[in-house]
Structure 1
């Protein structure tokens, strides 16, 4: 799990108690989480610029999940694990509700011992935080979301206000934090508040700008455009070198679903997709995971990073679809397609869903650029089923039946027309007529609202036994029970070709 984590610690040397706290805490995390990357951000400004120190730590980080923790805070290792697990699903996480502020004497005793867990804390003050207080000190957030707001605003000089501002920005642009009910421990040091900060009044005024912009994306972006951070400065310098700001290429949003057993085929599919993409459009991959092991998640992340693609893991409660039947090789994860539009905000209007049992042989950008603005989705006719399901699914006689392994989805229209609810209603009302899980119900509901695409984008196994096999496929779909990893499939060589580069 912690192979994906960078622990960011802001720090200012003082040759005193803060130094001793910092070195003890740093050693604590090195011992408890040897797989994690420890990044220390140093700021020697006067007063201490904590925002700058956090940004400098983030600048060093190479992992895709950031734990931001002050140099005087530690916690039960299980709390850290729980926080990281939640951050994979939530926009960002504040892991604590209570703070144990250890007395000066008890802190001194701890610092004289080697860091370990559990620790003996006998003298302390217990702070109960509210939903809206103590937002900083210990946060967990993805690299993508940290960078989406440009890190911390370094205009906050000294302590105070920077966490509130960061919270407002991330809540507005990335999604509201998840607060956990854990306890953290705070080593004693001299307290520095607004009243002891010569820039405290200025910080309060600056914080008010963020408060006023919260929940208003356009307004928050205007506030952030005036922010100061090493990340924004780097971006401006790059634009200056290019002479003008280049038009940002459209991101290709890829969604797939898998469990642990299908993680290996998924890795091969993604390798083929990324290796054959020729355009400079960025790729963002979303894996709707069901019990995928941390080892296999790390493999998927490694593949994405190799080709400079972003990857996020999304969680869907299996209980949502527990009432619906599965058949043969079709697993529960097939229903997760129905929840895809819920995973994105209004800035994303289109996604490309891909099954795990595919090999992508051509640049996926061509498929992505197909205009489906007037349809709920673009899909390819199912070569095996064709029109044999029309009567059972109450579809007109001449309606085509699509295969749901490759879907270009108009998530904007999907949400507006409540397609998930319509499909689930059909599944419940006609469970005796369902043979191919959600694919049947999707066809029944959308029979006249989808755009037929060139079959080269979903060349299915049964196409091999048809003259159409002369066509050169752009996507091979290993439909049916015989897969190239469990049988001697006629197109197995393509799967093995891309697998060779991974395993």
Structure 2
């Protein structure tokens, strides 16, 4: 049996209006999420539509499950005539042997199977993480010459990961944005090799799937401008994105989390969120001990010391329970 046989349990088209796939699709965009990232993905979809209203866009969502309220909100997005949303429900058992962390669930591996599922239907697909906001047009991506490479990606700064993984091309990409040539991806068996590497030696790869994809795509990646995946760290309060940015990628803390509400970039994110069905959904509250520590730091930065003390105590208690 092939590795990814029967991995898709069900496919669901959720359009309210006409099927965009009946028309010429300008962009195929894919996501891999669990239920916790449905809100971020929906707001991202709406922001993409906002800046690309003249393009027909097919969204492909790979997930192990979405809450009914989020599914209904996604369906509301399809009131736009140029948007199609198809959901691929994944059998999560195929990934049980792969490592996960507090930050990364099995959903981080769903990008592996997109090439298999979309083969024969799509020539190129843009994979993007759900913790991204679109603030520009995608036109130039359509006309980019991939020069025989399998993916287009954006490099991360620093040589640490390059040296750690012995990458010959001297660059390490962030896997939150991958413009993929589906046929070349499948011909090179990227997905199968990625799973094999992670299964054989999971402790070796600090950033899990991102590490193994960098190894397998070393010399097969065309690095493009940072504007396509501008990595934004919300811990840096005075960092403003350049004017030509198309995708802002919120690494680390997310703008829909309660402990990020002090950051000025949340206002930009909320401007887009208010146009979506998630406009009145409360910010996510901290659950595990690391998030409670971030909540404490958020109050401390605002000089709200009693609230900060409360959350530092909550963090300490939660950490002791987690370690016991």
| TM-score (normalizing by structure 1) | 0.48
How many Å apart are 1:348 and its aligned residue?
1.3
Alignment partner of 1:417 out of 163, 184, 188: 188
Distance 2:241 2:52 in 1: 24
From 249, 271, 275, give the equivalent of 2:46: 271
Q: Which residue of 2 aligns with 1:377?
A: 151
Larger radius of gyration: 1
Describe how 1:187-336 pairs up with structure 2 within 5 A: 249-278=24-53, 280-336=54-110
- What is the CA distance between 1:474 and its match in structure 2? 1.3
Counterpart contact for 2:135–2:247, Cα < 8 Å: yes
Aligned to 1:400: 171
Q: Indicate conservation of the 8 Å contact 1:252/1:284, yes or no.
A: yes
Q: Deviations over 1:311-353 (max 9, x none)?
A: 1001221111111112332221110000011121324110001
**Structure 2: any 5+ residue segments left out of the alignment?**
1-7, 280-324
* DSSP-derived class of the 1:391 partner: helix
What is aligned with 1:89? 11
Structure 1, residues 237-278: CA drift from partner, whole Å, max 9, x if none?
A: xxxxxxxxxxx7553101012222211111111111111104
Choose from 428, 445, 451 the match for 2:216: 445
1:87–1:301 CA distance, 2 compared to 1 (3 A): farther
Cα 1:448–1:308 change in 2 (3 A) is same
Report if aligned partners of 1:392, 1:433 keep a CA contact under 8 Å in 2: no
Distance 1:289 1:273, change over 3 A: same
Q: 1:275–1:307: 8 Å Cα contact kept in structure 2?
A: no
User: 1:327–1:435: 8 Å Cα contact kept in structure 2?
Assistant: no
**Stretch of structure 1 that moved more, 348-357 or 361-370:** 361-370
Tell me which moved more, 468-477 or 305-314. 468-477
Q: 1:501 aligns with which of 270, 275, 292?
A: 275
Aligned-residue Cα RMSD (Å) equals: 2.8
Work out whether residues 63 and 110 of structure 2, in 8 Å CA contact, stay in contact via their aligned partners in 1.
no
How do residues 101-140 of structure 1 correspond to structure 2 at under 5 angstroms? none
Q: Is contact 1:456–1:475 with CA below 8 Å preserved after alignment? A: yes
1:460 aligned to 2:234? Answer: no
Query: Which of 1 and 2 has higher RCO (CA within 8 Å, sep 6+)?
Result: 2
User: Which of 391, 412, 421 is the equivalent residue of 2:163?
Assistant: 391
**Structure 1 residue 337 corresponds to structure 2 residue 111:** yes
Q: Deviation of residue 493 (structure 1)?
A: 1.8
In the alignment, is residue 478 of structure 1 matched against residue 250 of structure 2?
yes
For the 8 Å contact 1:427–1:441, the answer to whether it is kept is yes
